[in-house]
Amino acid sequence: MSKQQRNKLRNRAIIALIIICFLGFGAGAYGLVNVGIIKGEKYKSKASKQQLSDTTVSALRGTIYDANMNVIAQSADAWKIWVDPSKMKDDETRQDVATELSAVLDLEYDTVLEKCSREDYAYVLIKSQVEYEDKEAIIKFRSEHKGYNQIIGTEDDVKRYYPFGSFASSVLGFTGSGDAGLSGLEYYYNDTLTGTAGRIVTAKNAKQFKMSSEYSAFYAAETGLNLQLTINQVIQYYLDTALQTAVEENDATYGYGIVMDVETGAVLAMSTKPDFDCNEPYTVNDIALAAIDEKYTDEEGNVTDEEAKSKAIGDARSAQWRNRTICDSYEPGSVYKCVTAAAGLEEGVVTADEMFNCTGSYEVADRTYHCSHRAGHGVEDFTTSMMNSCNPIFIEVAQRLGKETFYKYFEAFGFAESTGIDLPAESTPVANVTYHTLDKLTSVAMASESFGQTFQASPIQIVTAINAIANGGKLMQPYIVGSMLDSEGNKVFETKPTAKRQVISEGTADILKTMMEKVVSGGTAKNAYVPGYRVAGKTGTSQKLTIAENIYVASFCGFAPADDPKISVLIAIDEPKAGSFTGGSVAGPVAAEVIENCMKYMNVEPQYTNDELARLDQNVDKVVGSTVTAARKKLESKGFTVKVIGDGSEVVKQYPNSGRTLPKNGVVVLYTEKRDPITVTVPDLTGLSVADANSVAIENGLNIRRVGYTSGNNVVSYRQSLEANKDVEMGTVVTVYFRTEIKEED
């Protein structure tokens, strides 16, 4: 090879080397640019994840208080339990871990084992919201097995607690996974109640173990805002208890009620029965579950249709979560006559003492409307027509008003709009579906609406409208959250009572109060009468014709005391099936019970009439230590019946004790020697007049406390506090509930 050829080959080699070096350095440079600049953030994130442990610290959800700052919903510390399947080396370990975790956490073994078998995963959540005792049991198990510290882990979590179970459950709602609100106030105010999660960032070494605290940073979680409701725990209890009893006694499908502060529109109590336990919201209540089991189980106890039963249970869950006081609507019936009367009085087309003649029917266009008393009430003034719930008279008032003016008050009292209460899923009136707009309001439709039919309204709409009569004509904005508080208890927001509009004058409201009080004292709402308190109100009985001909909603709406209203109350018993179905017979007694308890709780002093004073129970004097002769004389002077047990001359024990109240002829048992009490058997005291119930009780050595309407005709007992055939001490007081049957009402 010549020298020239050798030089040419060498030059080619050098050029090739240069090209190779250039390409190599270029690729390296490109790699650096790609990693450091183009994809820098991505690789930086990956590096950080390998070098740092970033743990979320769950924030506590805000507490919910009642009006008196009693806790009714609160979050507390809980834990998450997780496993690292990638570190489980064999099936024996997986089975051991699954056995323990499923037992402690009350989970299906197969489900836990499947999670422990995901070998490609380093973190699998087994269960969240684990309580302290279970977490400690798992930690103990973990510490007793070598290597399990790297297999089973715990993390901070939170869990929502409802101290009173089903208390106001349809109002409060509940939370789900992630502590997020799913219904009720928990859902509506979720963003307010939800706190800001914290973080613990800790450096990890090459073996991926967390390093000491000097290489960590802590960012504290912030608790959500607290809510102080207008709900009063005591008043809510009274409403819940009365409704639950009414649903059971009347074999009703539902019962719902509202108690509202007259001046502010604040909701003091709101209840739907049956309801659910907020701590276990997915558990179907006993009444619904029993009905489902009966429908889908044969005589041998076998399920006849699994799919249908599963769907029925799901539907039952949704039904029990529903707050029917705001979500449902129904024809208000005769309760609406208060609004028709308000419009007529305000516009001057009628006066409270104007005379009418009820013939039993009224014709409008081609329609004949009948009074509930088909024979007619005859000559009566307007107030008496309200007391009698006389349809023809209210149709006449509506015709005098004309459809434009009639509709003006329908709108003014809030029946063409939702109330805007701070709760989710409030029903919205639908034009020409749930009510007639002005252009669709025919004379026939207006006649029906005058006494509360052919349109629908929700319970919250109805009580808000009647509340406007109670407070002098102001339609108030209803609300249920009074204020929001930070973690230090400082108010960061307070709801101010808002009057939407003046719907009638104070003078008209005063006239209506008097009329509505007479409805209770001597009309269709007699069963809402409470001795010592002036109650005003109106009952309603509306047919649910879309379901069946003989299905009704029995309701009462009113306020007390009539002369200085403090609370407005609505009671509705949906589909009562135990005999009586009118608002006067079914809802009136429930309202009376709630009103009486509320008045006493609110320290409203009773003002008794002379007739009421004459019927009042008498206090039992202390006669222990007195001679039998002196004791008998003292007690009999008050009208009590005395039974002496023993042959001694001095009283060593009495029953009932001093300070108790008993009706006239009530039994006081005097013991003249130390001995076991004499027991008697409680008789059936239902279905009796006041006199007969008292007589039967005395014959059996018992006393009765009378509750309800007891002064009129056709009064009968319908409930007693102690069940029949129960053995009790002689002289025991049995509470007996009375009402009069109201049959004529629309």
Q: What is the pLDDT of residue 207?
A: 45
Q: What is the pLDDT of residue 546?
A: 66
Contacts of 493 (CB under 8 A, 6+ apart): 483, 484
Is 675 a domain residue? yes
219-228, 393-402, 422-431: least confidently modelled range: 219-228
12: Cα within 13 Å, side-chain hemisphere: 6
Pairing of strands 71-83, 491-494: unpaired
In order, the DSSP letters of 467-528 are HHHHTTSEEE--BSEEEEE-TTS-EEEEPPP-EEEE-S-HHHHHHHHHHHHHHHHHSTTGGG
Banded model confidence at residue 471, pLDDT cuts 50, 70, 90: very high
Is residue 79 located within the same domain as residue 198? yes
Question: Among residues of the chain, what percentage have pLDDT more than 70?
Answer: 88
Banded model confidence at residue 249, pLDDT cuts 50, 70, 90: very high
Is residue 45 predicted with pLDDT exceeding 60?
no
Q: What is the pLDDT of residue 219?
A: 58
Q: What is the pLDDT of residue 610?
A: 87
pLDDT tens sequence across 365-387: 989 999 888 889 999 999 999 99
Angle at 304 between CA 298 and CA 307, to 5 degrees: 150
Is 153 a domain residue? yes
Contacts of 165 (CB under 8 A, 6+ apart): 277, 278, 279
Is 263 a domain residue? no
Banded model confidence at residue 665, pLDDT cuts 50, 70, 90: confident
- Tokens for 592, please give them: 């009376």
Banded model confidence at residue 328, pLDDT cuts 50, 70, 90: very high
In order, the DSSP letters of 85-112 are GGG--SHHHHHHHHHHHHHHHT--HHHH
What is the average per-residue pLDDT within 709-737?
A: 91
What is the average per-residue pLDDT within 248-274?
A: 96
- Tokens for 141, please give them: 């198990």
Of the residues 590, 611, 632, the one at which a domain ends: 611
For residues 508 and 487, give the distance between their C-alpha atoms in angstroms, rounded to a whole number: 47
Is residue 55 predicted with pLDDT exceeding 60?
no
Is residue 362 predicted with pLDDT exceeding 90?
yes
Banded model confidence at residue 71, pLDDT cuts 50, 70, 90: very high
What is the average per-residue pLDDT within 689-706?
A: 91
Single out the residue of 56, 104, 460 nearest to residue 271, CA to CA.
Answer: 460
For residues 123 and 152, give the distance between their C-alpha atoms in angstroms, rounded to a whole number: 9
Is residue 560 located within the same domain as residue 648? no
In this structure, what CATH number is given to the domain that contains residue 175?
3.90.1310.10
Is residue 209 predicted with pLDDT exceeding 50?
no
Is residue 113 located within the same domain as residue 78? yes
Is residue 690 located within the same domain as residue 554? no
pTM: 0.84
In single-letter form, the type of residue at position 486 comes to D
For residues 194 and 186, give the distance between their C-alpha atoms in angstroms, rounded to a whole number: 9
Is residue 575 located within the same domain as residue 650? no
What is the average per-residue pLDDT within 4-14?
A: 65
Is residue 22 predicted with pLDDT exceeding 70?
no
Is 411 a domain residue? yes
Is residue 369 located within the same domain as residue 449? yes
Single out the residue of 460, 493, 505 nearest to residue 479, CA to CA.
Answer: 460
What range defines the domain where residue 137 resides? 54-228
In single-letter form, the type of residue at position 681 comes to T
Is 290 a domain residue? no
Q: What is the pLDDT of residue 548?
A: 62
Banded model confidence at residue 147, pLDDT cuts 50, 70, 90: confident
What is the average per-residue pLDDT within 279-300?
A: 88
Is 499 a domain residue? yes
119-123, 207-211, 568-572, 662-666: least confidently modelled range: 207-211
Is residue 436 located within the same domain as residue 492? yes
Is residue 432 predicted with pLDDT exceeding 60?
yes
Is residue 622 predicted with pLDDT exceeding 80?
yes
In this structure, what CATH number is given to the domain that contains residue 706?
3.30.10.20
Q: Looking at the DSSP assignment, which residues form a beta bridge with residue 542?
A: 553
Tally of domains in the chain = 4
Is residue 125 located within the same domain as residue 9? no
Banded model confidence at residue 51, pLDDT cuts 50, 70, 90: low
What is the average per-residue pLDDT within 121-129?
A: 91
Is residue 634 located within the same domain as residue 595? no
Is 46 a domain residue? no
- The residue that leads in pLDDT, 374 or 209, is 374
Is residue 442 predicted with pLDDT exceeding 80?
yes
Of the residues 611, 628, 652, the one at which a domain ends: 611
Burial class (CB in 10 A: 0-12, 13-18, 19+), 235: buried
Look-up of token digits 């001694």: 648
Is residue 31 located within the same domain as residue 132? no
Of the residues 204, 228, 252, the one at which a domain ends: 228
The rounded mean pLDDT for the chain is 89
Whether residue 398 contacts residue 411, with contact meaning beta carbons closer than 8 Å, is answered with no
Question: Among residues of the chain, what percentage have pLDDT more than 90?
Answer: 71
CA 572 from centre of chain: 14
Q: What is the pLDDT of residue 208?
A: 46
pLDDT tens sequence across 592-620: 999 999 999 999 999 998 888 888 888 99
Cis peptide bond N-terminal to 561, omega within 30: yes
Is 746 a domain residue? no
505: alpha, beta or left? (left if phi > 0; alpha if psi -120 to 50): beta
Banded model confidence at residue 547, pLDDT cuts 50, 70, 90: low
Q: What is the pLDDT of residue 44?
A: 56
Is residue 458 located within the same domain as residue 522? yes
What is the average per-residue pLDDT within 624-632?
A: 94
Banded model confidence at residue 238, pLDDT cuts 50, 70, 90: very high
pLDDT tens sequence across 298-323: 888 888 888 999 999 999 999 999 99
Q: What is the pLDDT of residue 354?
A: 97
Banded model confidence at residue 37, pLDDT cuts 50, 70, 90: low
What is the average per-residue pLDDT within 256-270?
A: 98
Whether residue 516 contacts residue 537, with contact meaning beta carbons closer than 8 Å, is answered with yes
Q: What is the pLDDT of residue 161?
A: 92
Is residue 6 predicted with pLDDT exceeding 80?
no
Is residue 602 located within the same domain as residue 621? no
